[in-house]
A and B are shown apart, each in its own frame.
Chain A
Amino acid sequence: MSAYQLFTLILLFELGSTLVLPLASEAKQDAWLAILIAMAGGFCLFFMYYGLYHYYPDLPLTEYVQILLGSVLGKGLAFCYVLYFVYGAAAILRAFGEMLVTIAYPATPLFVINALFILVIVYMVYKGIEVIARTSEVLFVAMCLLLLSGFLLLIISGTIHLENVKPVLEEGLSPVIKTAFTGTLYFPFGQIIVFAMIFPYIKERKKVKRTGFLAIGMSGLILALVAAGNISVLGLDLASRAPFPFLASIQSIEVAGFLERLDIYFILFAMIGGFFKISIFFYAAVMGASHLFQVKHPSRLAYPMGIVVLLVSMAIASSYTEYIQEVRIMLLYVYMPFQVIIPVLLLIIAFFKNRKKVI
């Protein structure tokens, strides 16, 4: 896997579900600012994950955990990480299923949509990381073209009212920072931890750091732009009430009397982004499990684990409202420890362990 492929993967992964769902909406019209602040936090997190990778460039997260913490504790933690990856994949699968049912297929059962979606992903993961990486290369171009033309159309149709973003920092900086560090940092930026499972496959090791920073920076900028765009098109009230604000913005495009009703744009964004986000989570889960249980051919686990992800995605919540509520709770009590606290501890342990070696 090349550095460029890592770049496209991280970017699509970051944009994945966040482009579609409301992001940092608690920060009101300063959502874009909260995203940028969270992005800065994301840089720190990435630097931490990179630090771990630097100590063990050949091993994925679930392996070096066992070296750092010893066999028993390490295996336990590695198993927890596999569960976290499975949950991550299932949660995003559910979000996409719900979105498609809401906006495009009202008469189709959620289970059928989720099943078809995971089937394609399972097939891709079965084929291995090379295939995921190459697909991302191709679809990255499509995503860029879509984003560019989407923004151009929004500007041309004249629905952007920049005054909606004002006043900047109405309530001061504290609510913005609070939003950034209680939500936006963990979703999507902290989720980069999944790449700790993928780093060992990258051939151009020297470029990992630069590529990662570049990809996170660019995705942060795009997300901030989209958040600001949504608010300036919809106004604060509509933007904060819409379950899919970007869809509402795109629906407001009307150019020259015939370029309108471009919902397909939104569905393409969602499909491409969601596809990669779930794939990467799922891939990490499969690889983690196969290392942990010493399965020789990891791809054999793809189908059974796909069924697990599908069932988890259905069992997570009984309604969309419940799902949103649950994700909020998970963000603080699961995402934060797995993405920040544990990696910090691991890094400290790794630092002392490796220092001993040198001496």
Chain B
Amino acid sequence: MNRKGMFLFLLIISVCFLSGCWSKRELTDLAFISAYSLDLTEEGNYEATVQVISPGNITSGLQGGGGGSSSPPVIVYSVTGENLSDMDALITKKLSRTPYYAHTDLVVISEELAKKEGLPPILDELDRDIEFRTTTTVVIAKETKAKDLLTTLTGTDRVPATNIVKMLDTTEKALGENVRVNVHELITQVTSKGKEPVLPGFTLKGDPMQGKTVKSVQSTELEAAPEADGLAMFKEGKLIDWIEGETARGTLWTLDKIKTTIVSTSWEKEKKAIAYKVMRQKTKVSATLTKGKPKLSISTRAEGDIAEVKVPVDLTDPHVIKKIEKELEKEIKSEIEKAVQQAQKDKSDIFGFGEVVHRTDPKAWKKLEKEWDDRTFAELDVDVKVEALIRRTGLVNNSLHTTLKKEEK
């Protein structure tokens, strides 16, 4: 054979090797898992539930005039086992496709599991697995089975996992009582000695059995719907308490995670008379040590607008604005103090005060480290300073209440 012929022969042969990939996976052979949940069974084993997207059913609702989808956009499978990898293999007994975790958006852990077993046993697999992403969001199922959050169909966003993650994002931005935490952040906080994690809680309002059927999302008021509810507080990897309402927001203030929120204050005996919309804020935590005894100070600076006024107030008067600012400062300060008090009572350093001390004085931290959570943190002196600034008053200068008041006279 001549040189050219040989070359051509090699070229043709190489085509056979170049066409395929070693470990190819066809799209039609993969089960895309959108959410993953873990419960504790009565025997003390894990129950893992995966929410698999059924590709054909996701878009149908948009075209068929609303009621066109006869089957749900996701299907849920459960399996029990003693570790996560085992269950991953066992689940294929029920699944026709290979489970694929790279697009998992949400991990739900049941309250019971987080209380009894704690998080560390399950975190290793999530970190070690190549397919699973550490940017996945983690939430705790509060007063409900984790599985129920996955089986409940949702309205606005049809994939329940997406719905929960987006809900979390929105409420974090607008209210600031919840915070989105991913696996990566969670692991960092669980392992740190000077910081304990908080995780957002989700509860299910309504009947879980009703929530499973497509019928539930065909009415305007859902039979069952997930709802963001509070922050789970951890100590040594185990859930110990829930932070709720204003205290939860105080926690986020301290963590410098507040983006925008509404703070209301009373005015001349009228409760929640003036609402203030925080547009931006910055919170700094610093530590000072005197003779090895740490003292923490939190300073917050918030900027925002007046959002609502229920009583006659002269908003054109800078002195009044100053007075309202003072009231708001008191309000925010009390929220932060409540959060700090609860954390100290539960002896869990969710704010990372320990890390602040560590950074300020590494040598002193060496001595404090051992008894930090149980003694030093619980008895810590915390000083809170708040500065609230009102920048604008919205589209109205003086409220209609001021006119009404004049007419009365």
Contacts of B184 in A (CB 8 A): 234, 238, 248, 252
A234 touches B359 (CB 8 A): no
Contacts of A260 in B (CB 8 A): 135
Contacts of B188 in A (CB 8 A): 234-235, 237-238
Given A103-B130, A170-B362, A238-B188, decide whether A251 and B23 contact each other with a Cβ distance below 8 A.
no
User: Contact partner of A235 among B22, B130, B192, CB < 8 A?
Assistant: B192
Contacts of B259 in A (CB 8 A): none
B135 touches A251 (CB 8 A): yes
A254 touches B23 (CB 8 A): no
Given A105-B22, A105-B23, A108-B22, decide whether A166 and B135 contact each other with a Cβ distance below 8 A.
no
Given A166-B359, A167-B358, decide whether A252 and B134 contact each other with a Cβ distance below 8 A.
yes
State the Cβ distance, B366 to closest chain A Cβ, in Å.
Answer: 9
Interface 1/0 per residue, B337-362 and A, CB below 8 Å: 00000000000000000010011101
Interface 1/0 per residue, B167-194 and A, CB below 8 Å: 0000000000000000010011001100
**Residue of B whose beta carbon sits closest to that of A169:** B362
State the Cβ distance, A96 to closest chain B Cβ, in Å.
Answer: 17
Contacts of A166 in B (CB 8 A): 359
Q: Is A337 on the interface with B (CB-CB < 8 A)?
A: no
A251 touches B133 (CB 8 A): yes
**Residue of B whose beta carbon sits closest to that of A168:** B362
State the Cβ distance, A287 to closest chain B Cβ, in Å.
Answer: 29
State the Cβ distance, A272 to closest chain B Cβ, in Å.
Answer: 22
| Residue among A112, A163, A238, A248 facing the most chain B CB atoms (10 A cut-off) | A238
Given A105-B22, A107-B23, A237-B188, decide whether A261 and B130 contact each other with a Cβ distance below 8 A.
no
Contacts of A261 in B (CB 8 A): 102, 133
**Residue of A whose beta carbon sits closest to that of B190:** A237
| Residue among A166, A234, A235, A251 facing the most chain B CB atoms (10 A cut-off) | A235
A106 touches B133 (CB 8 A): no
A106 touches B130 (CB 8 A): yes
Contacts of B135 in A (CB 8 A): 251-252, 254, 260
CA distance A235 to B358 in the complex (A): 14
State the Cβ distance, B270 to closest chain A Cβ, in Å.
Answer: 41
A108 touches B23 (CB 8 A): yes
Contacts of B192 in A (CB 8 A): 235, 237
Q: Which parts of A27-60 form the interface with B (CB within 8 Å)?
A: none
Q: Is A354 on the interface with B (CB-CB < 8 A)?
A: no
Interface 1/0 per residue, A95-118 and B, CB below 8 Å: 000000011011110001000000
Given A167-B358, A235-B188, A252-B184, decide whether A107 and B22 contact each other with a Cβ distance below 8 A.
yes
CA distance A234 to B191 in the complex (A): 12
State the Cβ distance, A214 to closest chain B Cβ, in Å.
Answer: 35
**Residue of A whose beta carbon sits closest to that of B361:** A167
**Residue of B whose beta carbon sits closest to that of A261:** B133
**Residue of B whose beta carbon sits closest to that of A163:** B359
Given A237-B188, A238-B184, A238-B188, decide whether A248 and B23 contact each other with a Cβ distance below 8 A.
no
State the Cβ distance, A163 to closest chain B Cβ, in Å.
Answer: 6
Q: Which parts of A146-171 form the interface with B (CB within 8 Å)?
A: 163, 166-167, 170
Contacts of B359 in A (CB 8 A): 163, 166-167
Contacts of A170 in B (CB 8 A): 362
B362 touches A251 (CB 8 A): no
CA distance A325 to B189 in the complex (A): 29
Q: Which parts of A227-247 form the interface with B (CB within 8 Å)?
A: 234-235, 237-238
Q: Which parts of B305-334 form the interface with A (CB within 8 Å)?
A: none
State the Cβ distance, B237 to closest chain A Cβ, in Å.
Answer: 14
State the Cβ distance, B397 to closest chain A Cβ, in Å.
Answer: 37
User: Contact partner of A167 among B130, B191, B362, CB < 8 A?
Assistant: B362
State the Cβ distance, B363 to closest chain A Cβ, in Å.
Answer: 8
Q: Which parts of B352-392 form the interface with A (CB within 8 Å)?
A: 355, 358-360, 362
A237 touches B362 (CB 8 A): no
A102 touches B358 (CB 8 A): no
Q: Which parts of A191-238 form the interface with B (CB within 8 Å)?
A: 234-235, 237-238
CA distance A163 to B192 in the complex (A): 14
Contacts of A252 in B (CB 8 A): 134-135, 184
Given A105-B22, A163-B359, A170-B362, decide whether A238 and B133 contact each other with a Cβ distance below 8 A.
no
State the Cβ distance, B275 to closest chain A Cβ, in Å.
Answer: 30
Q: Which parts of A96-143 form the interface with B (CB within 8 Å)?
A: 102-103, 105-108, 112
Contacts of A103 in B (CB 8 A): 130
CA distance A260 to B184 in the complex (A): 14
B130 touches A248 (CB 8 A): no
Contacts of A251 in B (CB 8 A): 133-135
CA distance A260 to B134 in the complex (A): 12
Contacts of B22 in A (CB 8 A): 105, 107-108, 112
Contacts of B133 in A (CB 8 A): 251, 261
* 16 cross-chain CB contacts under 8 A: A103-B130, A105-B23, A106-B130, A108-B23, A163-B355, A163-B359, A166-B359, A167-B359, A167-B362, A235-B192, A237-B188, A237-B192, A238-B184, A251-B133, A252-B134, A252-B184
Interface residues of B (CB under 8 A from A): 22-23, 102, 130, 133-135, 184, 187-188, 191-192, 355, 358-360, 362
Interface residues of A (CB under 8 A from B): 102-103, 105-108, 112, 163, 166-167, 170, 234-235, 237-238, 248, 251-252, 254, 260-261
Q: Apart from A105-B22, A234-B188, A238-B188, what are 11 other A-B pairs with CB-CB below 8 Å?
A: A106-B130, A166-B359, A167-B358, A167-B362, A235-B191, A237-B192, A238-B187, A238-B191, A251-B133, A254-B135, A260-B135
